[in-house]
């Protein structure tokens, strides 16, 4: 039922109760009428936001059909080891919570695992205890090295690729997709650096997100920017249904978390570290909300002021779960009467022994059996 209809029904019900109140003495009637009207208006004011909010949440749930993630490390050089580990940490979190590799675009600017300075070849760690190798054989990097540049990042968001670009390099989201974007690197006032020589400007990012909205490339979008002055990158975003966050405000640095003295540098940034400490305690289907995560981003934890902004959300921020973005909502609907149209066929369409369409029929074997039963064979 539409929200407007729900509110109208509530109003009619309240008026009905008011109009069918028991009769009273003539002298008391005006007083009680005005008291009843005030009660009606107060009740309507109370229930309307709840009805609209619940309806918006239900509407969003119906529209949300898939999840995609774009995870970007923009930095070159060994000294930026932590930026790759940040990206890989978010990559593994997205996979653990249900987003398949086919729906994750991972962009890594520099291969730290194979850097000659790495004392642990083919490994990347996100904590100084070296508990988990983030660069294991399950990692699928879609853009690497010089491919990680401003042009390719913007093309990825708006969907304008070279015709020869493979599927693995395309963001194939649609109007039912919740999209998570993690952008990590060095930055400044209104820019994030790519490859140490290019800059992604805040207005370019805002224009790309607006284009995504106009072309129906997302349902809702969650953006994490982790860089110095990250808040300046989200100020110009106007496209609706976006929650954009920055690890620091304009004029502030964004800091690393802790030093690994064996590697000679930090292996994580503070914002990523706090995010991981939160997400490692939740699983698919968790009810933890974005505000729950945001409350953990204190100045004491980050040594900078975390910031976020929202743009014309269709539902309350308090109803947005982290797993709405870092999770899976893929739905598979079977056609009526035939769950798998190719059931009973081999790879090239030939009849397969022991196959059969099952449940409603389809498949070559089912057709042959039908002909046999009717005397056709």
- Segment 26-57, tens digit of pLDDT: 445 555 555 455 554 555 455 444 544 454 45
pLDDT over threshold 60, residue 258: yes
Q: Rounded to two decimals, what is the model's pTM?
A: 0.75
Q: What is the structure's pLDDT at 34?
A: 54
Give the pLDDT band (50/70/90) at residue 332.
very low
Helix axes 3-19, 29-63, angle to 10 degrees: 160
Q: What is the structure's pLDDT at 101?
A: 96
Q: What is the structure's pLDDT at 17?
A: 44
Give the pLDDT band (50/70/90) at residue 230.
very high
pLDDT over threshold 70, residue 339: no
Q: What is the structure's pLDDT at 328?
A: 82
Indicate which residue of 83, 90, 110, 186 is catalytic: 186
pLDDT over threshold 90, residue 10: no
Mean pLDDT across 278-287: 93
> pLDDT higher for 98 or 24?
98
Q: What is the structure's pLDDT at 63?
A: 86
Query: How far, in Å, are 60, 182, 315, 325, 343 from residue 219 at the CA level?
Result: 8, 17, 12, 10, 34
Beta bridge partners of 345: 351
Catalytic status, residue 32: no
Share of the chain above pLDDT 70, in %: 71
Mean pLDDT is lowest, of 18-32, 141-155, 352-366, for: 352-366
Give the pLDDT band (50/70/90) at residue 330.
low
pLDDT in tens, 292-325: 999 999 999 999 999 999 999 999 999 999 999 9
Average pLDDT, the chain: 81
Q: What is the structure's pLDDT at 107?
A: 98
Beta bridge partners of 181: 70, 223
pLDDT in tens, 117-151: 999 999 999 998 998 999 999 999 999 999 999 99
Q: What is the structure's pLDDT at 42?
A: 56
Catalytic status, residue 228: yes
């Amino acid at each position: 039922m539409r929200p407007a209809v729900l509110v109208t029904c509530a109003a009619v019900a309240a008026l009905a109760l008011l109009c069918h109140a028991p009769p009273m003495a003539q002298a008391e009637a005006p007083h009680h009428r005005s008291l009843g009207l005030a009660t009606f208006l107060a009740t309507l004011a109370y229930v309307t936001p709840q009805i609209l909010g619940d309806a918006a949440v239900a509407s969003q749930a119906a529209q949300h059909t898939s999840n995609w993630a774009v995870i970007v490390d923009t930095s070159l050089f060994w000294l930026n080891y932590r930026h790759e580990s940040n990206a890989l940490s978010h990559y593994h979190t997205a996979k653990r919570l249900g987003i398949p590799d086919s729906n994750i675009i991972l962009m890594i600017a520099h291969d730290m695992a194979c850097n000659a300075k790495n004392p642990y070849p083919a490994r990347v760690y996100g904590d100084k205890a070296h508990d988990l190798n983030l660069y294991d054989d399950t990692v699928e990097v879609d853009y690497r090295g010089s491919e990680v540049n401003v042009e390719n990042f913007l093309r990825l968001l708006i969907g304008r690729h070279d015709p020869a670009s493979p599927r693995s390099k395309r963001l194939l989201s649609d109007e039912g997709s919740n999209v998570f974007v993690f952008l990590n690197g060095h930055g400044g006032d209104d820019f994030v650096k790519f490859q140490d020589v290019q800059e992604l400007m805040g207005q370019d990012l805002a224009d790309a997100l607006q284009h995504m909205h106009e072309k129906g490339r997302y349902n809702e979008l969650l953006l994490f920017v982790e860089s110095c002055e990250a808040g300046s990158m989200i100020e110009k975003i106007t496209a609706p249904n976006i929650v954009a966050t920055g690890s620091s405000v304009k004029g502030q640095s964004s800091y690393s978390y802790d030093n690994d003295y064996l590697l000679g540098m930090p292996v994580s940034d503070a914002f990523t570290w706090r995010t991981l400490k939160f997400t490692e305690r939740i699983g698919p289907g968790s009810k933890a909300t974005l505000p729950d995560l945001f409350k953990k981003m204190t100045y004491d934890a980050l040594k900078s002021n975390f910031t976020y902004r929202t743009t014309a959300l269709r539902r309350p921020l308090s109803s947005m779960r982290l797993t709405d973005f870092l999770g899976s909502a893929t739905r598979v609907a079977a056609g009526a009467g035939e769950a798998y149209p190719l059931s009973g066929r081999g790879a090239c369409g030939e009849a397969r022994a022991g196959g059969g369409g099952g449940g409603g029929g389809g498949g070559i074997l089912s057709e042959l059996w039908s002909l046999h039963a009717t005397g056709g064979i």
